[in-house]
């Protein structure tokens, strides 16, 4: 037997290995992905061209270092291309992501969105549910307001035509990303997918509003929105990580308007902090809308969140005017709606 018989032909390197090496080659050797590298990486992931062990390594390496605006922009571009969304017969004014779920307070932002739809603004919500125990997710709250989640993009379009509002779950238009989000209980940590899904904007609405929990992600969203040329976007640290202004706290809103970045501080609406309810009863959502239940915190959250959206949409040129318009919307709402 000759020596050459003992040599084995090495396996060719997997194409995704280079991505992992860029991210994981030690403190001095690693670096962030460029926007194009991030785009190519996410494209491979969504095309199922990555092994499960590689996906896990990638997600956790990204989690440890946290994504840059360029990486997030590349991920979003690939995800938008891969979601196979057909051309739309309906235009949407405002894209509203809802992925966090609520734990301390009810999702009052739902009433903010419905307040906008009553006043001629179409709102498309997208989210997912169930990846964290003990949270109230938007999809499960819709029934209390006489609404149903859409089952696909076509039904979402119909709902937008009929009622200027629709909610569609991520799994219905990008199942692979939903599958990755569902890995959270296995990996024990959130991943960059939790960030990128907030920016998907499936109907390409000119205006997008996003809530985050960790303040460090706010400028990442803002700068990534500029990189993907989203015309108008606002991101805030929302109550529980949802797109909802907490009226007890100052609120920094970071925006993009046609490529220009801006930061705006919205002051707290109360001098005191409200005590969170002992338990959350979703039946309070319609009761507060109908005026059958009085809740100072809820009304301030609803109006305050609507005001930020109104300012983003260019319906008011000052916080004071936006707050007044939102207050008028609330006073004049159709209390018999549900």
Q: What is the pLDDT of residues 235-246, one digit of tens each?
A: 999 999 999 999
Pick 3-82's CATH classification: 1.10.287.3510, 3.40.50.970, 1.20.970.10, 3.40.50.2300: 1.20.970.10
pLDDT band, very low/low/confident/very high, at 83 (cuts 50, 70, 90): confident
Cα separation, 49 vs 42, in Å, equals 10
The dihedral formed by the CA atoms of 277, 278, 284 and 288, expressed in degrees to the nearest 10: -20
CA distances (Å), origin 54, targets 20, 72, 87: 8, 19, 33
Q: What is the pLDDT of residues 230-278, one digit of tens each?
A: 999 999 999 999 999 999 999 999 999 999 999 999 999 999 999 999 8
The CATH number given to 94-331 is: 3.40.1030.10
Contact 167, 126 (CB under 8 A): yes
Ranges of each domain in the chain: 3-82, 94-331
- Kindly report the pTM of this predicted structure: 0.93
């Amino acid at each position: 037997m000759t020596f050459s018989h003992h040599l084995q032909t090495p396996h060719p390197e997997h194409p995704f290995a280079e991505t992992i090496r860029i991210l994981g080659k030690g403190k001095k050797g690693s670096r962030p992905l460029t926007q194009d590298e991030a785009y190519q990486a996410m494209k491979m992931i969504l095309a199922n061209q990555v092994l499960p062990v590689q996906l896990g390594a990638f997600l956790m390496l990204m989690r440890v270092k946290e994504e840059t605006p360029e990486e997030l922009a590349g991920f979003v571009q690939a995800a938008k291309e891969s979601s196979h969304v057909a051309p739309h017969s309906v235009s949407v004014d405002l894209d509203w992501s809802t992925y966090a779920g609520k734990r301390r307070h009810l999702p009052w932002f739902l009433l903010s969105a419905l307040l906008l739809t009553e006043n001629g603004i179409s709102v498309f919500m997208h989210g997912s549910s169930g990846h964290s125990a003990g949270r109230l997710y938007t999809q499960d709250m819709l029934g209390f307001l006489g609404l149903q989640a859409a089952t696909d993009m076509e039904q979402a379009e119909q709902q937008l035509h009929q009622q200027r509002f629709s909610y569609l779950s991520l799994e219905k238009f990008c199942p692979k990303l939903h599958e990755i989000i569902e890995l959270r209980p296995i990996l024990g940590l959130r991943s960059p997918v939790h960030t990128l899904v907030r920016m998907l904007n499936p109907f390409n609405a000119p205006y997008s509003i996003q809530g985050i929990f960790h303040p460090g992600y706010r400028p990442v969203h803002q700068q990534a929105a500029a990189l993907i040329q989203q015309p108008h976007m606002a991101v805030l640290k929302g109550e529980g990580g949802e797109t909802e202004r907490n009226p007890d706290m100052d609120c920094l809103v970071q925006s993009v308007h046609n490529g220009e970045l801006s930061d705006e501080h919205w002051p707290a609406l109360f001098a005191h902090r409200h005590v969170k309810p002992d338990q959350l009863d979703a039946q309070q959502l319609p009761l507060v809308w109908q005026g059958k239940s009085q809740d100072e915190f809820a009304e301030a959250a609803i109006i305050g969140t609507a005001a930020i959206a109104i300012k983003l949409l260019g319906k008011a040129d000052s916080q004071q005017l936006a707050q007044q318009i939102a207050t008028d919307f609330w006073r004049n709402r159709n209390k018999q709606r549900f």
